[in-house]
Amino acid sequence: ALTDNQFHLLYQPKVDLKTGLIFGVEALIRWEHPQYGLVSPVRFIPLAEESGLIVEIGEWVLRTACTQNRAWQAAGLTPISVAVNVSPRQFEDKHLVEHVAYALENSGLDAGHLELEVTESSIMRDLARSVATMRQFDAMGIAMSIDDFGTGYSSLSALKSFPISRLKIDQSFVRDLANNPDDQAIAMAVISLGHKLNMKVIAEGVETEQQRDFLRDNECDEMQGYLFSRPVKPEQIDNLLRQQMSGITIAA
Ligand code: C2E
Ligand code: MG
Ligand code: MG
C-alpha cells in the first residue's frame, strides 16, 4: 500500500469550546484498496502493529501530516497544530524520535505545530522508557496528548510526572453523556483531574448539541467530533480555515 500510494490522510478539526474556533486537526489514515475499497484503520492498524509495518507507515504519516500542515501555513492560513497518532509499537521504536525530527526538518514545520497522541496502555507498557521518550519530545517543543483517556489503566501517580499537555476523553464516555449520570461523573472527573495537573481536556466523538453543552457547562476546553466536522480532505480544512478567517464561524 505504501509503495503503491494507497494511503491518504484525512484531517478532523479540533475546536475550542469557548471560541468555537479550529485550533488544530488530527490526522487519520485511510487505505484505499484497489479491490476492497476503503479499509478502516481499525482493521489494518492492529495488523500493521503485529507485523511491525506500523513503523514505516507511521513514518509516512508523520512526514505527510507535517508537510500538509506546513502547506496550509504557506498558503497564508492561520497556523494550527496537527496531531498524529502514535501506536504502541511505534512509541517503543528506538528510531521514533529521529523520525519525528526528520519529518519536521524535511517539511520545515515548527515543532510547536506538531502534537503526538499516545494511549495510556502504550505509555504503561514500559513506564520509565515512555517517560524518557516523552521528555525528549517535550524538550524538542512537541506537545503530547493521551488518547482514549479513561479506557486504559493509567497510574495516576505516574500521570503527574508526564510532560503531557492534553487528555482526550474517550468517545465511549461521550456517547451517552446527555443521559447517563455515570458517564457524566467520569467526564467531570477527567476534566477536573486534567485541569489540576495543568492539562487541557478535549472530548472526542462529540456528535450532539447536548453532549457539547454538557462539556462546555463543565469547563471542558475543546472538542472533536461529527457535530463540528467529520475527518475531511486537506482542501476542506483549507476552506474551513478560510471561512474562519473571514469571520464566519460554523455553529460550534
Ligand atoms: P482515535 O485516534 O481515537 O481517533 C478517533 C476516531 O474516532 C477516528 O476513527 C475518527 O474518525 C472517529 N470519530 C471522530 N469523531 C467521531 C464522532 O463524532 N463519532 C464517532 N462515532 N466517531 C468519530 P478512525 O479514523 O476510524 O480511526 C480509528 C483509530 O485508528 C484511531 O482512533 C487511531 O487509534 C487509529 N489510527 C487512525 N489513523 C492512524 C494513524 O495514522 N496512525 C496510527 N498509529 N493509528 C491511527
Ligand atoms: Mg487519536
Ligand atoms: Mg481516541
Please check the confidence at residue 252 and state whether its pLDDT lies above 70: no
Q: Are 228 and 9 in contact (CB under 8 A)?
A: no
- pLDDT for 152: 83
Compute the distance from residue 247 Cα to the ligand 2 centre, in Å: 29
Ligand 1 contact via 28 beta carbon (within 6 Å) = yes
Q: What is the rounded average pLDDT of the residues 25-30?
A: 98
Of residues 247, 168, 251, 249, the one with CA closest to residue 215: 168
- pLDDT for 238: 98
Instruction: Choose one of 55, 63, 85 to mutate for the ligand 1 pocket test, by most ligand atoms within 8 angstroms of C-beta.
Output: 85
- Kind and range of the H or E run holding 159: helix 156-159
Of residues 81, 53, 87, the one with CA closest to residue 69: 81
- pLDDT for 157: 83
Compute the distance from residue 74 Cα to the ligand 2 centre, in Å: 25
Tell which atom from ligand 1 comes closest to the C-alpha of 87: 44
Q: Assign 3-state DSSP to the chain and report helix, strand, coil percentages, each to 5.
A: 45, 20, 30
Nearest CA to ligand 1 atom 9: 28
**162-187 pLDDT, tens digit each:** 999 999 999 999 999 999 999 999 99
**Strand ranges (DSSP E) for the chain?**
7-16, 22-33, 37-39, 81-85, 114-119, 143-149, 166-169, 200-204, 222-224
Q: What is the rounded average pLDDT of the residues 102-119?
A: 98
**65-90 pLDDT, tens digit each:** 999 999 999 999 999 999 999 999 99
Q: Identify any residues that bridge with 15 across adjacent strands, giving them in sequence order.
A: 22, 223
Question: How many angstroms separate the CA atoms of 54 and 170, rounded?
Answer: 23
| Beta-carbon count within 10 A of 172 CB | 14
- pLDDT for 250: 58
Question: How many angstroms separate the CA atoms of 232 and 26, rounded?
Answer: 10
State the chain's maximal CA–CA distance in angstroms. Answer: 50
Please check the confidence at residue 249 and state whether its pLDDT lies above 80: no
Question: How many angstroms separate the CA atoms of 84 and 64, rounded?
Answer: 10
Q: Are 92 and 129 in contact (CB under 8 A)?
A: yes
- pLDDT for 248: 66
- Name residues whose C-beta falls within 8 Å of residue 180's C-beta, 6 or more positions apart in sequence: none
Compute the distance from residue 26 Cα to the ligand 2 centre, in Å: 7
Compute the distance from residue 85 Cα to the ligand 2 centre, in Å: 5
Query: Is 0.95 surpassed by the pTM of this model?
Result: yes
Question: How many angstroms separate the CA atoms of 97 and 1, rounded?
Answer: 24
Residue 210 DSSP class: H
Please check the confidence at residue 251 and state whether its pLDDT lies above 70: no
Ligand 1 contact via 41 beta carbon (within 6 Å) = yes
- pLDDT for 208: 98
Compute the distance from residue 45 Cα to the ligand 1 centre, in Å: 11
Higher pLDDT, 252 or 15: 15
Please check the confidence at residue 160 and state whether its pLDDT lies above 90: no
- pLDDT for 161: 86
Ligand at shortest distance from the CA of 148: 3
**% of residues, the chain, pLDDT over 90:** 90
**% of residues, the chain, pLDDT over 70:** 98
Ligand 1 contact via 174 beta carbon (within 6 Å) = no
Ligand 1 contact via 207 beta carbon (within 6 Å) = yes
What the block records as the C-alpha cell of 240 is: 474551513
Compute the distance from residue 175 Cα to the ligand 3 centre, in Å: 13
Which amino acid would we find at residue 27? A
Q: What is the rounded average pLDDT of the residues 37-61?
A: 96
Q: What is the mean pLDDT of the chain?
A: 95
Please check the confidence at residue 111 and state whether its pLDDT lies above 80: yes
Q: Are 194 and 154 in contact (CB under 8 A)?
A: no
Q: Decide the pairing of beta strands 37-39 and 81-85.
A: unpaired
Higher pLDDT, 156 or 210: 210
Question: How many angstroms separate the CA atoms of 30 and 36, rounded?
Answer: 13
Q: What is the rounded average pLDDT of the residues 27-47?
A: 96
Which amino acid would we find at residue 234? P
Question: How many angstroms separate the CA atoms of 208 and 227, rounded?
Answer: 6
Position 156 confidence tier, pLDDT thresholds 50, 70, 90: confident
Ligand 1 contact via 249 beta carbon (within 6 Å) = no
